[in-house]
Amino acid sequence: MTALSTQPRRDGRLRSWSGRSVAGLILVLFVLFFVIPIIWLLFAVTKSSRALIVSNPFSIGSWTDFMANWNQLFGFQDGAVTLWIGNSALYTLGALAITLVVSIPAGYALALTEFRLRKALLVLTLVVMLIPSTALVLPVFLELNTVGLIGTPLSVILPMSFFPFGVYLTYIYFSTSIPRDLLAAARIDGCSEIEVFTRVALPLAAPIVALVAFFSFVQNWNNFFLPFVMLPSSDGYPIQVGLTSLLSSTPAFNPSSAGSDSVQLPTLALATIVSILPVLVVFLFSQRYLVAGMTAGGTKE
């Protein structure tokens, strides 16, 4: 009797032990998959282009090589990289400011006020939010081309400012976390509708403002297709598009580019890091927000 009942249990334990090691192996393999390219990148920027190919991929180079790469990168076309980073900042922060001014009141109105087109606007927001942002890039280009805005900073800032996802986030936040009684009380106390928003709702909305700002910033900093299409001249490139210029000046990938202003592989690696540094910093500091934001729509209480 006892022998019979312990037999399957030991079997089960054995199986769960081997199951656990398979699971552990999968976890480790994927950690390596996700992390190796990034670790390698950090090492690569400290090497000379010869050392990059000859030495161990995960050995550290030297400070002098790092500085040489740095100087080559920021000396490229008389400081084009600095200009591109500045452009990225201008476009991203400009769009961020407009997005906040536009989206927060809109989300508030959709959640807590009544007006006739409310439902239609809500559906429109949802639908546009779910289509990939790239789907509208060429149509917007064709439109802006007829009004002659192509090549101006506005041609990227304005389309980036249309951010239905931010409106949706704000909408969800205001409809779930702000008690309507609070707003009603403010009205009874004599607040005008504008004051209800600015004095009562807005101070309570700090978390959602931060979340919308985060998503807007990350998405726009990394945006490639829109500026690639809208901005024909190198002077206007954001850093993401600027990377293509660097790439086409790298003899390793484009042999015809060998010349005075050419870019070596470690320098290109450094450019990759520099191009994502702001996003990386924001990522590291707002992990908590991120997870909260991405699961916000799905949580059911």
Q: What is the 3-state secondary structure (H, E, C) of 96-160?
A: HHHHHHHHHHHHHHHHHCCCCCHHHHHHHHHHHHHCCHHHHHHHHHHHHHHCCCCCCCHHHHHHH
Kindly write out the interface string for residues 153-192 of this chain, putting x where it contacts another protein by CB under 8 A and - elsewhere: -----xx-xx-xx-xxx--x--x----x--xx--------
According to the binding rule CB under 8 A, does residue 287 interact with another protein?
yes
According to the binding rule CB under 8 A, does residue 135 interact with another protein?
yes
According to the binding rule CB under 8 A, does residue 4 interact with another protein?
no
Residue 268, Cβ density class (10 Å: 0-12 exposed, 13-18 middle, ≥19 buried): buried
The full length of the chain comes to 301
Kindly write out the interface string for residues 46-75 of this chain, putting x where it contacts another protein by CB under 8 A and - elsewhere: ------xx---xx-----------------
Q: How many residues bind another protein (CB under 8 A)?
A: 122
Min. distance of Cβ 69 from another protein in angstroms?
14
Min. distance of Cβ 296 from another protein in angstroms?
6
Q: Contacts with another protein in 231-250 (CB under 8 A)?
A: 240-241, 243-244, 247-248, 250
Sequence-ordered list of residues with C-beta below 8 angstroms from that of 252, at least 6 positions apart, any chain:
264, 265
Q: Which of 69, 103, 267, 286 binds another protein (CB under 8 A)?
A: 103
According to the binding rule CB under 8 A, does residue 210 interact with another protein?
no
Please give the Cα distance from 192 to 297 (Å, whole number). 31
